Amino acid sequence: MDSIIVTGNGPLKGKISITGAKNACLALMPVTLLTDEPVTLTNAPILSDIKTADALLSSLGTEVTFLNGGRVLVLSSHNLNSSHADYDIVRKMRASNLVLGPLLARTGEAVVSLPGGCAIGARPMDLHIGALESLGASIELKDGYLHAKSKGRLKAGTFTMRMASVGATENFIMAATLANGTSILKNAAKEPEIVDLVKCLRSMGAQIQGEGSSRIEIQGVESLSGTTHPVVVDRIELGTYMIAPAIAGGEVDLIGGKKELLGKFWGCLQRAGLDISETSDGIKARKVDDLIKPVNVKTEVYPGFATDLQAQFMALMCLADGTSHLEETLFENRFMHAPELMRMGAKIEVQGGIAKVQGVSRLKGAPVMATDLRASVSLILAGLAADGETKVARVYHLDRGYENLVGKLSDVGANIKRISD
């Protein structure tokens, strides 16, 4: 099993290109199930989760071709031969549940295992079920599988989500594109990945209004055509690499980065003391003050502070000049990185959904263990500013969401390497 070794090496300087968003690509790939024409995705990230989605779609009869080293995906579902998403694949990744709506809309049935992914708390499927039932589907849980059916074409419906779930929003939108009539989703998620999905569907002939707002209206059509669509850049990768110079010092240009993708995170970094600005080709992040200022954050749905950047921001606050409070409102059990940061000398107290972080002047390198995708990168960020060597074990988590992280950080001056234990 691989580990990553990071040694504090002073300020960073250089350019990092931001890749296509994993969470956007994982929602875009199932779009192929809605049409028998080819769907081509450009700017795709090269990640293990994309390979898992490939395996899942291939098991349903989709032909998936990787071009340009994996940067371009061509998907064709003209010969679907199954509507059964097996546990052995679905358990590896939560986004596997995004085949539920498209399969139901295209074939009238779907059997999908309850999903897996990072162990960061219960992420119930009831919103997905309720959303699809509002379109006329009947769904029951048997032996760990959701068995979904519709009598003929799905029918238009209106559904109000009790919380703005990204996945349930995506499932509802995809299913409703082929439903009979006008469907309305209230309290919809507003994330950039939703907007990107709608852009793709619209280019295929879908009639959708309201993406990026809490109310989305979909006028169902008889069929969708193929398309070519560029995957939006990854706002979580972008935010992660913006924190790197804030922790280690220096100046980094994030090529392809866009301010509007970051929501409240932008202002939080500014309050912490990072000088950030938009440039002609992305975003420049520069540390101008030796002191990191403490900032209180509360995770929220977009455009609030992203839960997927909470662990990385905690690593930064470990070095702040004062005390900060980080409140996690979206997932329980998402402070598993705190004990590992404490092994490096951080002072953190966790009570329920709130972490109190008392900044220290220095962190010390130590052997630590990654517990999930975002936790793993927070430990690497902490290692950039630590005295001595930090060895991060179980970095397979990292491969699910960060393409070539070691190479990208090395290119801006980090002392980092990956080893096989």
- C-alpha distances (whole Å) from 68 to each of 46, 128, 314 are 11, 35, 37
Q: Which of 25, 118, 268, 318 is catalytic?
A: 118
Strands 227-230, 323-327: pairing kind: unpaired
d(CA 398, CA 364) in angstroms, rounded, equals 22
Stated as kind and residue range, the H or E segment containing 133 is: helix 126-133
d(CA 21, CA 329) in angstroms, rounded, equals 23
Per the DSSP assignment, residues forming a β-bridge with 354 are 327, 351
Q: Tell me 293's DSSP state.
A: P
Query: How far from chain centre, in Å, is Cα 340?
Result: 22
Query: Tokens 């993708």 appear where?
Result: 261
CA terminus-to-terminus distance, the chain: 6
**Residue 118 catalytic?**
yes
For residue 253, give the nearest of 292, 290, 289, 279 by alpha carbon: 279
Phi, psi of 374 (to 5 degrees): -75, -30
Q: Is 247 exposed, middle or buried (0-12, 13-18, 19+ CB in 10 A)?
A: buried
- Dihedral over Cα of 378, 379, 381, 382: its sign: positive
Strands 282-287, 274-279: pairing kind: antiparallel
Q: Is 290 exposed, middle or buried (0-12, 13-18, 19+ CB in 10 A)?
A: exposed
Cβ of 152: how many Cβ atoms within 10 Å? 8
Q: Is 212 exposed, middle or buried (0-12, 13-18, 19+ CB in 10 A)?
A: middle
d(CA 379, CA 373) in angstroms, rounded, equals 11
For residue 177, give the nearest of 196, 210, 214, 205 by alpha carbon: 205
Residues known to be catalytic: 118
